[in-house]
Structure 1
Amino acid sequence: MAASTSYTAPATHANQPEPVRVTDFGRTAEGATAQLYTLRNAHGLQVSITNYGGTITQLLVPDRAGQLSDVVLGFDSLADYQSPAYRKAGPYFGALIGRYANRIAGGRFQLNGQQYTLATNNNGNALHGGLRGFDKVLWQAEPGSSPAGPTLRLSYLSPDGEEGYPGNLHVTVTYTLTHDNALQLDYTATTDQATPVNLTNHTYFNLALGRNADVLNHEVQLAADRYTVVNDSQIPTGEQRPVAGTPFDFTAPQAIGSRIAQVPGGYDHNWELRQPTDLQPAASVYEPTTGRTLDVATSQPGVQFYTANFLDGSLTGKAGITYGKHAGLCLETQHFPDSPNQPRFPSTILEPGQTFSATTVYRFGVRAAE
């Protein structure tokens, strides 16, 4: 592992954090060197992100006693993210997802009278960008600083025809670790041909990682009154069903484990957020043993709440922790699954001359013992 280097941006805050620290993270299968960028805010919160897949590998936040510890699933080396076991399991730990997050039925859609066929990688459907989505490419990285906190700007050009999608898509994702203890992701994209775009991040949170093997005691609240019904292949049927009276009702805080047995396979569904705005509350999470809280706000219309149903103990991550079923939870802010084939859903088509723009904020805090 190479010695650490640092990028020092101009001071923009009275309590200037450490500069962005840069270290080599390993080599890709193609022989390119990936790097790891570590951002630290004025209060000691710390996030590490590799430009391989834009992957969040570590996130240190305090518990109610002020003890900093990691709250995301992942690995310490690039080799682990490229291992056969990881590729087979396909959990997308911490990665940027695109060109289209979630599923497109049959790997097909029609646009402007033309049918497009995508790479399929999930029961005959296209999932999370295909065989080599944005999670498996090396992004151009630019560390920096803003008045809000240290930043990392990642850029990628997805060429016309990649994984079957039309158009040259220029994507930029900026991570900001703010001085008020939030991790903000700002997404933008432009294209030279009409194309579906649905971008998200696939971080698995466990606010008691290393203390609790699963997240079933985490209390979750979602700002949604309806969810998207799916078939056995996780493809939307088109029905948008009220959550009231169902185990999908998280309009008030509920422990994940209280009703998950009533959902075959576990939670892996899209909830429709109530009032899409520039930045709206989407979800909140509370972990009672550590007191940690996570509040999510987004400009996206939906959130995919996923409870790591397919982890089976075959992957061992940081600090020797084995990741079993329900070891983490994902709150993937995004558009709805299969939107290119669902005319009633909000459109995901980006046209030339338009700019896709979205923001998601993950804010961390603590709650006193009850």
Structure 2
Amino acid sequence: MSLFVEFHLIQNFAPSNLNRDDTGAPKDAVFGGYRRARVSSQCFKRAIRLTADFPLPNQGIRTKKLLEMLRGQLQQQYGRTAEDLDSRIETALSAAGLKLKEDGKTEYLLFLGQQEIDGFAALIDLHWEALATPAGGEKKSKKDAKASAPADVAQQAKTIMNGGKALDVALFGRMLADLPAVNQDAACQVAHAISTHRVEREFDYFTAVDDMGAADEPGVGMIGQVEFNSATFYRYAVVDPAKLVANLQGDRELALTGLHALVQAVARAIPSGKQNTFAAHNPPSFIGVVIRHASPLNLANAFEKPVYARNGEALTSPSVAALAAYEQQLAAVYGNGQDRWAYLDLTQAWPQDKGERQTSLAALADWVVAQLRPELEQ
């Protein structure tokens, strides 16, 4: 039977510019015929990754600086200081199918588990002599570097690329253009966050004073403007726990540990864009988690008709109420009657008979693990 864990959040941000487009303006989108504030899924996924308390070494690193990382690890951990150190590293990476540019960086961002990086360092140390450049030899071309790698190095290098049981790699997936065999389909999908109401961009006109300005000089040293908005967002994400276990090479306990951390990270994650200017550290007003068995249900259409604040009412309360009402309609048609909800609600707008109310974020994470453990052990 299919199994999904969904996250539904209502989160109001004070004036901010959390996620900018190419002009520096807050990202937005037209939804239901109205302009909405938007924060991209990539933006929130990075915030979640940086917030999540995933255990070491079950974490991933996204970088082009693999050569630099391996150089430092070989020098500090293994005491390797040969002149052809970089050449040995490049030969080992070439054996796995990873190419380096002239500046020593990989051709594109790699998303690797820490265990994979550690594995490459150990492999290079193990085959140190076999990877050496012949005395007086010239620097190898990329093609020659791959061809010159010993066969057992090439074979072991490819086995290292297994995801390294990195929870963020397993959750959010990766694509390596040169190594399609080691790609991982994401176990977690994250939607773009959109405002539950229509928004308009606003502008902050600012000036900066030169502290060392003379009396006969203009007082203003700089003039500029920053675009911003303020919005109540609907956020949605869904996890396939069985896919997560598969990406983690069948390790159910690690998957449950990762999900426990993910629940808290999804709630605590706040994008870093322009925070020095706006300090919009506003946690969600509502966090709902549902265990579904039929199919995932994104509830964004609850806000196809924008929510409006009436009679001094906050936008968060009608947003939560609209979310509950639409979910009731949708689940009656597309659900299978086995959905189980738990929630944290600061608005008091979520129906009290719809799921188990939790008193803390940690308790909500505990509930998710308790619900999933018996289903993953079947």
Please indicate, yes or no, whether the TM-score normalized by the shorter chain is above 0.5: no
* Greater RCO structure (CA 8 Å; 6+ sep): 2
Q: TM-score, normalised by structure 1?
A: 0.26
Q: TM-score, normalised by structure 2?
A: 0.25
Structure whose alpha-carbon radius of gyration is higher:
2
| Structure with the larger strand share | 1
